[in-house]
Structure 1
């Protein structure tokens, strides 16, 4: 798209009451690497990713989603997006300027239509990363983020209009209607998805593994440590990616995945998938059945950070 100025997903920032417990989970069990720490804030990188960090954990009295960060190509793109958003009446949290987070860079923040804080940045220093080896069951990168919205059509329209995200596929239920929109900002099937939920919250964050073997080894490690499994292992139809969903210590859903589809954007036409059909949810038929109880696990707690910018 000629007006698409966002290039990719950078990181997800969350706040939790028990910071130490959360850090231990994401490092010792999930497989991320701490790269910086400062007064109750920890920045975690994925070994295979050039991003300075893919998760930021912040200690706070209440659990919340601090922000979702996306990359842009250059300062001109960042400035153009900020100007476009402000001109359309979107509330900016900060004006474009130098970032004080690891890797520096240039960026700004704003509230989306549901009140989430979103950051757009460029010129962040590339982290010295490495090839994840065979049988090494740690995340290569942050794959995608899924958010809950009580008005998913409105949220989808916001990201299409203001950030030029494109629809890849839609899940629907014959009685409940459209339930999830898979949105892309590059040829990856989705970097963001919007789920119908009872309140604004994080649905899940997904991390890409090296391959099927590493994905299954990671899944097995979490099962052996009695981490609560929500759903999986299996393979979705939309995106054609594998999935194993677990709950972190504060009830956020996190996913191991691999082989997410890369699209030819010039020829792709979105599908409308009925997720009551078993093969839509899981082509393999190996996951526990998707039902209302499994779905409710990822509703999460109502986000306390709506229209309130994080302090850092």
Structure 2
């Protein structure tokens, strides 16, 4: 386990799809994000309670893919130090550290992970003027975490621990079928990133933190009244102790409303192994519909055609 991570937090997830107009409408009018910048076929979406310039970037393309996952660093010198470490370790850079021309600017390095996803780490991004989310306001406060499917999850988890200094918080298994989900942290939140065993490399889900349980349930109810199919939930996970309601966006990506994600004590935390054959480990409340193969298959998502391909922006 590394204690020298130069990564401070999760910034944003950038995705592409043919159904751009429908996606933009879903995330702004239904999900509760705010468009802060954009151009033809590109939209930058912020969470009202977050200082990040944007937490989701949508881009129109003929193919559905994940453009990149972005994390923060404290200083430009940390970006340079990380880039030097990655080069020394044989990691392939997408581009060397340089200034960003996206909202808020900043200084960033981009590189491929072991399976070809593009990762960006940036510093000196100008904080966005944000606000306190009020009681009963059922819109996201921030981007909580992102999980990715992997056909080689043990190797991918090891890659993020070795090269980026992530720490393992907890692991899920399914009885004798073995381990299937790993939760990784880069700060004291239980997880900002995670890896799920799947048939191919692809986006698994992105989770958005709500103000509290009341706002989480109000958001869940709003989506139900709007006729948006709920995949799974509402319930409360054991690992991370967070609530969950999962949906599909207009491109078939899984998105989650959550709240009260656990904050860990770095000095005393020891990873747990939770067995999902005990239903309380999946849902402590017992209120969610039963997890099944249909739900799992939807979150396995489509094969990502963008592996080892740098996004155009």
TM-score calculated relative to the size of structure 1 = 0.99
Q: SS of the counterpart of 2:285?
A: coil
CA deviations over 1:115-136 (Å, ceiling 9, x no partner): 0000000000000000000110
- 1:258, 1:104 → 2: CA distance? 29
Q: SS of the counterpart of 1:35?
A: strand
Q: How does 1:126-275 map to 2 (within 5 A)?
A: 126-275=127-276
- 2:33, 2:157 → 1: CA distance? 30
- Structure 1 equivalent of residue 15 of structure 2: 14
- 1:81, 1:208 → 2: CA distance? 28
CA deviations over 1:219-263 (Å, ceiling 9, x no partner): 111111111211000000000000000000110000000000000
- 1:155, 1:95 → 2: CA distance? 22
- How far off its partner does 1:2 sit? 4.3
- 2:235, 2:4 → 1: CA distance? 36
CA deviations over 1:45-102 (Å, ceiling 9, x no partner): 0000000000000000010000000000001110011111111111100100100100
- 1:289, 1:53 → 2: CA distance? 34
- How far off its partner does 1:16 sit? 0.7
Q: SS of the counterpart of 2:155?
A: helix
- 2:88, 2:42 → 1: CA distance? 33
Q: Tell whether the 8 Å contact from 2:17 to 2:63 is kept in structure 1 after alignment.
A: yes
- 2:149, 2:67 → 1: CA distance? 15
- 2:162, 2:179 → 1: CA distance? 19
- How far off its partner does 1:25 sit? 0.2
Q: SS of the counterpart of 2:300?
A: coil
- How far off its partner does 1:290 sit? 1.2
- 2:293 is the counterpart of 1:292: yes
Q: Tell whether the 8 Å contact from 2:5 to 2:166 is kept in structure 1 after alignment.
A: yes
Unaligned runs of 5+ in 1: none
- Structure 1 equivalent of residue 310 of structure 2: 309
- Structure 1 equivalent of residue 64 of structure 2: 63
Q: SS of the counterpart of 2:176?
A: coil
Q: SS of the counterpart of 1:147?
A: strand
Unaligned runs of 5+ in 2: none
- 2:63, 2:246 → 1: CA distance? 23
- How far off its partner does 1:175 sit? 2.6
> Deviation above 6 Å: which 4+ runs of structure 1?
none
Q: Tell whether the 8 Å contact from 2:110 to 2:119 is kept in structure 1 after alignment.
A: yes
Q: SS of the counterpart of 1:80?
A: helix
CA RMSD, 1 decimal = 0.7
- How far off its partner does 1:293 sit? 2.0
- 2:17, 2:263 → 1: CA distance? 34
- 1:168, 1:2 → 2: CA distance? 13
- How far off its partner does 1:304 sit? 1.1
- Structure 1 equivalent of residue 75 of structure 2: 74
Q: Tell whether the 8 Å contact from 2:3 to 2:165 is kept in structure 1 after alignment.
A: no
Q: SS of the counterpart of 1:136?
A: coil
Aligned length: 312
Q: Tell whether the 8 Å contact from 2:234 to 2:288 is kept in structure 1 after alignment.
A: yes
- How far off its partner does 1:112 sit? 0.3
